[in-house]
Amino acid sequence: MTAPLGAGGSVTMGETLLRVDDLSVALSTGGSMNVPVIDAVSFELRRGETLALVGESGCGKSMTALALMRLLPESAHVTGGAVVLRAESGAGGLPPASVADAMACAAPAALLSASSAADIDLFGLTEAQMRSVRGHRIAMIFQEPATSLNPVLTLGEQIGEVLRRSGRQDRAQERERVIELLKAVGIATPQRRIDEYPFQFSGGMRQRAMIAMALALEPDILIADEPTTALDVTIQAQVLELLAELQQRRGTAIVLITHDLGVVAQMADRVAVMYASQLVEVADCKSFFAAPRHPYSRKLIEAVPDLSRRAGGLAVIPGQVPVLGTTWQGCRFAERCDQQQARCLSAPPVLSPHQTAYRSFSEAQTAAAKVRCFYPLDTESAGVDALGTDPMVATTGPQTAAALTEPIRASAAPLLELLDLKVHFPIRRGLWRRTVGHVRAVDGVSLAIERGQTLALVGESGCGKTTVGKAILGLVDASAGRVRFDGTEPAQFDRQSLRRYRRRVQIVFQDPFGSLDPRMQVSEILKEGLRAQSLGTDEAARDRRAAQVLDLVGLPRSAMTRYPHEFSGGQRQRLAIARALAVEPSLIVCDEPTSALDVSVQAQILNLLRQLQYELGVSFLFITHNLAAVEFIADRVAVMYLGRIVEQGAVDRVLTQPAHPYTRALLSAVPSIHRPADRIRLQGEMPSPSQPPSGCHFHPRCAQAEPRCQRQVPAVINLADDHQAACLLLDPVQR
């Protein structure tokens, strides 16, 4: 089977492009100490396929990608193995000008003679020769485009530099090619935006620019390292769709590094699971989700939140990924595995094959799936049908959250009410800083949070979610409307009353490392709020309270004398939650608390929040763009778009029977291991809150918009008990 490759002709789909044989990498820690970070990793990558590399942070995924590109940090070095790149037709695997030099300089062992004398082991090339491979044969999209792009150069200059180094185009051709690339990745008006700087682009647009840069020389292989982490679901869907489209058109092979198993189910042909520097399972995507063979793979899948797992909690993996330098006698996962037996602790298992159907390129083709386990799970008792129902039921035990019972909730008025809340920030210009406009960050929000309940506030970045949270805490002033907490209005409080209010309303920020003082021990971090609120009779009483909240969040009391940098990301988030709990609040605003966490750590945090709610009766405002987490943790959900609530109600009703076109588009963009993809495509990006559209704010992107949507502001319509939406198309009176 062949597929078009842009202007470069056609390619044969399914041929092996890259072979990694027993790749091992170590870090030098001073002296003669070498710490292994990649241990005998082997896999093949075929043309036109996507191989997903998954696992928790610290397992070695990104280091593997850097090794393939020969971009390892100075302290890292290859200790064994080979990375063999298939030769280009008539070019021996390198651009024509470099072939002779590569053949002359490479050691005999560096050249693969089994399949073709011209196939090249990348570790046998000099750095100068390797520069001819990067971009031309293998390109990489890095995780964070904001730090990967040069802020002082325009995008046109940065993408043009890639073309310039190839030496194939003059300046006029270069500019024309850059415009063509920007257009190909979906950036509107590329003739104008080519001369703009990275800060003038949104996160999704910067990621598209990174993709354009990576594809500039039409590489055979694209390595995408967490390309959609922390992106909105709509932008994520656009980026993934773009990659799939480019892959189909050009036959590009993709190595996709991600911790989002929904993305894996949507994009991957094969899955390679990595744990503690080793591959523990390799399988085709459908078989992997239908019947994961390794206990670690199954736990990762069971940790994915959804509506069906609300009753029993998410499965969690006890402990953490082993630290670098750990020595093992047996299986590296044994200490965290609920299937372990005596043999697992005494002998290391090898990656052994088991046959499974593999039909990505041919109905007759099969491939040997592999698992590193003495006692792999049988195919009948374990698995998730990626396109159907979930047959797995969480079991009780140390790896699963305890069954939760309904909390006792008062029947009085809501704990928190927002009544037509508006937060407008002035735009000032000129010498005298005159106000020339306003950013309408929050433009008339009304919602309520009951005692002991969780309200999820969802929407794309820039819609005003975080500003709502800050307005509740009094960190920004409301321009209009009211915030009513427990029957009182904080705007009318004096200084002392406001201090007491802030004890009852706390916040957990998105980045725990940035919100915890690195110079303070954990005990001081936890006692800081107690001192500020004059809680506790003395230091001994505050120490006891700090120890109590550590118990609540599942951290050892020995953590009291440690500093934030000594903890993992999930543990730091637990510390941030413990700090909020120390002053016994009634409401906690959680601002994207799980957005950048591994699926296993996310499960721990979500289980913890639910357990704390049931034990303490605390309420949560859960601000997020992760709709899978909303399914699991929220009682009610409010969908926000450009400063307004467009739909809200009970979570099971809103997420299963969405009424507003924007809600339906959001839900369709969420990649899932349980539901097939049927995406509703939104046109363009969210308009600027400084110049919102007239009438319904969503009408410029709505496929169902009518002329009246441009003129009329939709009123809130009651669709059922505890389900409202603001859409003119739903109003029977005005239709």
Cβ contacts of 207 within 8 Å, gap of 6 or more: 141, 145, 227, 228, 231, 235, 239
Dig out the tokens for 651 from the structure: 């979570």
- CA–centroid distance for 612 within its chain: 25
Candidates 669, 692, 659; CA nearest to 238 is 669
* Average pLDDT per block of 10 residues along the chain, 735 residues long: 39 78 87 80 93 90 92 90 81 42 39 52 90 89 82 91 76 88 82 89 80 87 85 81 84 91 91 94 92 93 80 80 83 91 92 61 52 81 41 32 43 86 92 89 95 94 90 93 93 88 91 86 93 90 93 88 84 89 94 81 88 92 89 94 95 93 91 73 81 93 92 92 92 63
How far are the Cα atoms of 28, 66, 162, 275 from residue 73, in angstroms, in the given order?
Answer: 10, 9, 22, 21
The dihedrals phi and psi of 573, each to the nearest 5 degrees, come to -65, -35
How far are the Cα atoms of 133, 191, 427 from residue 217, in angstroms, in the given order?
Answer: 10, 20, 42
Instruction: Determine the 3-state secondary structure of 158 from DSSP.
Output: helix
Cβ burial 140-149 (10 Å sphere, 16+ → b, else e): bbbbebeebb
Distance between CA 31 and CA 9 in Å, rounded? 52
Question: Which CATH code fits 12-146+219-371?
Answer: 3.40.50.300
Helix extents (H) in 510-588: 512-515, 522-532, 539-552, 569-581
| Residue 425, H or E segment | strand 416-429
Domain boundaries, the chain: 12-146+219-371, 147-218
CB 11 within 8 A of CB 3: yes
| Residue 407, H or E segment | none
Distance between CA 153 and CA 345 in Å, rounded? 54
Give the residue carrying structure tokens 């001369």.
195
Cβ contacts of 595 within 8 Å, gap of 6 or more: 230, 510, 624, 625, 626
CB 440 within 8 A of CB 690: yes
Dig out the tokens for 542 from the structure: 């505050």
Dig out the tokens for 15 from the structure: 């041929």
CB 658 within 8 A of CB 664: yes
124-127, Cβ contacts within 8 angstroms, sequence gap of 24 or more: 125/70, 126/101, 127/70
Distance between CA 227 and CA 257 in Å, rounded? 8
Distance between CA 336 and CA 485 in Å, rounded? 44
Instruction: Determine the 3-state secondary structure of 256 from DSSP.
Output: strand
Question: How many Cα atoms sit within 13 Å of 417 on the Cβ side?
Answer: 12
Distance between CA 314 and CA 311 in Å, rounded? 9
Dig out the tokens for 369 from the structure: 């799936």
Q: How many residues does the chain have?
A: 735
The dihedrals phi and psi of 326, each to the nearest 5 degrees, come to -65, 140
Parallel/antiparallel/unpaired status of strands 636-641 and 644-650: antiparallel
Candidates 386, 137, 173, 141; CA nearest to 242 is 141
Candidates 281, 251, 214; CA nearest to 53 is 281
CA triplet 601, 603, 604: central angle to 5 degrees? Answer: 65
How far are the Cα atoms of 301, 661, 714, 717 from residue 696, in angstroms, in the given order?
Answer: 40, 12, 6, 14
pLDDT score, position 38: 92
pLDDT score, position 42: 94
Dig out the tokens for 566 from the structure: 């000594």
The dihedrals phi and psi of 272, each to the nearest 5 degrees, come to -120, 120
Distance between CA 646 and CA 445 in Å, rounded? 10
pLDDT score, position 400: 37
pTM score, whole prediction: 0.81
Give the residue carrying structure tokens 């990489």.
140
Question: How many Cα atoms sit within 13 Å of 496 on the Cβ side?
Answer: 1
Give the residue carrying structure tokens 């506790």.
536
Distance between CA 8 and CA 47 in Å, rounded? 15
| Residue 92, H or E segment | none
Distance between CA 478 and CA 306 in Å, rounded? 35
Distance between CA 13 and CA 218 in Å, rounded? 16
